[in-house]
Chains A and B, each alone.
Chain A
């Protein structure tokens, strides 16, 4: 296993999260099972250690193939291109989503070992092979194609500007690996959420000048499970191996939706209440933010927040009733007047 003949071999320890639906590991799984996260979609797995000798530049996938080919043929792993293009080797490496073929073992060795497993927020098929059904189901939900009527006249084509296409390049580089979804904090507790990859894809079509259904799309994406269900945790930006930055695309969709008039949602009310308070006092008025975001006429929503409001008052954690204005607030107002857009 000395490619090129001149590489120094190093010893790496790989801990593989094993799971076999046929029950071979059912008993073992109980021992050494990880914390059974209440939100987990996959069952506990058993960790099995392997030692491999590989060149210092080896990646996680090299180790897994070495294990499967020469040590334990029962280890199930999915891969194809081995060059960060097909997306099939996405898995959890040391607790986060990564492409195994792009993850250098040396960088991922922690306390002498690297742990690989299927992501807990996804169903698992076997060992490192997880079920991409939730990924593709969500993908389909956003109508991932151009809706274009009428069709171009025969023998002609639609022309778009370079600038319009440049705006979409970031999303076009998506390889559908699922790294963003498997680490998405919102999806972990909310399976109704379309998820970062699907919404990034949604932006790609909503912002394409050739699409005729932008308005309808924005309406759909503003519903429950859409753009407002993202918790803004940046995990998708952090984990995407292709720099798609799904959160950035979600934020652009939010902006498009609001500008298109889809403002009857807590997300827009929250932003408006936030802006209003910063504009008038320079600071956030927490006392009014929550009720304004929930909506003054949303009686059930308001009631739901009462117990915690009461607890906080009791602990002395209520923001001052009289909201103080920062000195020099005039500057802030001037800035809002100049660039505030909708918040002017």
Chain B
């Protein structure tokens, strides 16, 4: 299945392990990724918050690029997913905004007709690849591993632009996947809450406490690791975890897997291939539970 692929800046920047693991597992899943190398950053909501026209135009360009390639756009970042979905939703509800954006990008050689479907890899697993295919490619069950899902914000909210009203099951895909891979899912209240990342530069201590509290809860409920579809959540939960532990004065030491890393383990890739040795919080102990070494 051919898909236009928008990897997002973070997977090309501070979380290269996400890009590597996502592109590794794509073939096994039957995905032919056509990377949108010329698409800009989505602006992560930061640019559109100050200037909605700018956000509209930059994202109309990306959506148009995907449209010219067939109209199926895959993301591996919840934030990209949220921003692109919300722009798509706005264009649908307010055609005058699309018209305005199209005027801006017309002389760049693009016009967006409004047909692109944006889907995070997590959604594609269930809606396009399918559970049967997934089951058929699993080589290694992750039995014995207790995993806490962490969705983060922008793949859950606001629910109308993400199509969660029509497809409420999207709120449970992580749990379903964890079970499908043979791991044990850990239920806790923080799975759909914010990791605090957007506040990291403005209000560092509170941001760290926010993420730290969720990790602490998952850990106290027995999680060996957490899994997230959002690299920004990963940056906060993994990258800042030692500081978060200090902020809430509790030891945390809970590894945070990117979605394609957890899936990749079940598909038979080695921890090194998935770059599980490039985390701030070591994945070693969790991997040993499924008799893997890193």
A interface residues, Cβ below 8 angstroms from B: 34-35, 37-39, 95, 185-186, 188-190, 228-235, 237-238, 251, 254-255, 258, 265-267, 269-271, 274-275, 278, 282-287, 289-290, 293-294, 301, 304-305, 307-308, 311-312, 314-320, 324, 326-328, 331-332, 334-336, 338-343
Contacts and interface: CB of A to CB of B under 8 A. Distances in A.
Interface in B94-128: 104-105, 107-109
Nearest to A247: B158
A307 B41 CA distance: 28
A335 B189 CA distance: 42
Interface of A is mostly: helix
B213 A317 contact: no
Interface of B: 9-10, 12-17, 37-41, 43-47, 49-51, 53-54, 57-58, 61, 104-105, 107-109, 153-154, 157-159, 188-189, 193-194, 196, 198-204, 206-207, 209-210, 213, 216-217, 220-221, 239-240, 242-243, 248, 250, 278-280
Contacts of B213: 37-39, 189
A283 B104 contact: no
Contacts of B217: 35, 37
A251 B46 CA distance: 10
Nearest to B13: A319
B44 A274 contact: yes
B45 A232 contact: yes
Contact of A35 (B13, B198, B221, B280): B221
B209 A231 contact: no
A340 B15 contact: no
B72 to A, nearest CB: 21
B52 to A, nearest CB: 9
Q: Which of A188, A255, A283, A317 has the most chain B CB atoms closer than 10 A to its own CB? A: A317
A258 B207 contact: no
A37 B202 contact: no
Which 4 A/B pairs are nearest by Cβ-Cβ distance?
A234-B157, A293-B201, A319-B13, A233-B194
B216 A38 contact: yes
Given A234-B158, A342-B50, A327 B38 contact: yes
Given A35-B221, A328-B38, A339-B53, A229 B202 contact: yes
A19 B44 CA distance: 42
Contact of A317 (B107, B158, B242, B280): B280
A35 B108 contact: no
B47 A286 contact: no
B220 A258 contact: no
A233 B13 contact: no
B157 A233 contact: yes
B50 A316 contact: no
A301 B205 CA distance: 11
Nearest to B86: A234
Contact of A308 (B54, B58, B239): B239
A319 B194 contact: no
B100 to A, nearest CB: 9
A278 B41 contact: yes
B49 A278 contact: no
Contacts, number: 200
B198 A231 contact: yes
B209 A286 contact: no
A282 B194 contact: no
A238 B158 contact: yes
Contacts of A314: 280
B210 A185 contact: yes
Contacts of A267: 202
A325 B250 CA distance: 41
Contact of B242 (A232, A265, A308): A308
B204 A317 contact: no
A126 B203 CA distance: 33
Contact of A332 (B16, B49, B58, B109): B58
A334 B239 CA distance: 35
A297 to B, nearest CB: 15
Contacts of B10: 284, 286
Contacts of B280: 308, 311-312, 314-315, 317
Given A35-B220, A284-B9, A317-B278, A228 B202 contact: yes
Contacts of A271: 46-47, 49-50
B243 A307 contact: yes
A39 B201 contact: no
A248 to B, nearest CB: 10
A336 B209 contact: no
Given A37-B217, A274-B43, A293-B201, A317 B57 contact: no
A298 to B, nearest CB: 10
14 contacts: A38-B209, A230-B199, A231-B198, A233-B153, A237-B157, A270-B202, A274-B44, A275-B47, A287-B13, A293-B201, A307-B243, A339-B57, A342-B50, A343-B54
Most A CB atoms within 10 A — which of B58, B200, B202, B207? B202
Contacts of B209: 38-39, 189
Nearest to A255: B50
Contact of B51 (A265, A286, A341): A341
A335 B38 contact: no
A312 B10 CA distance: 14
B202 A326 contact: no
A334 B108 contact: yes
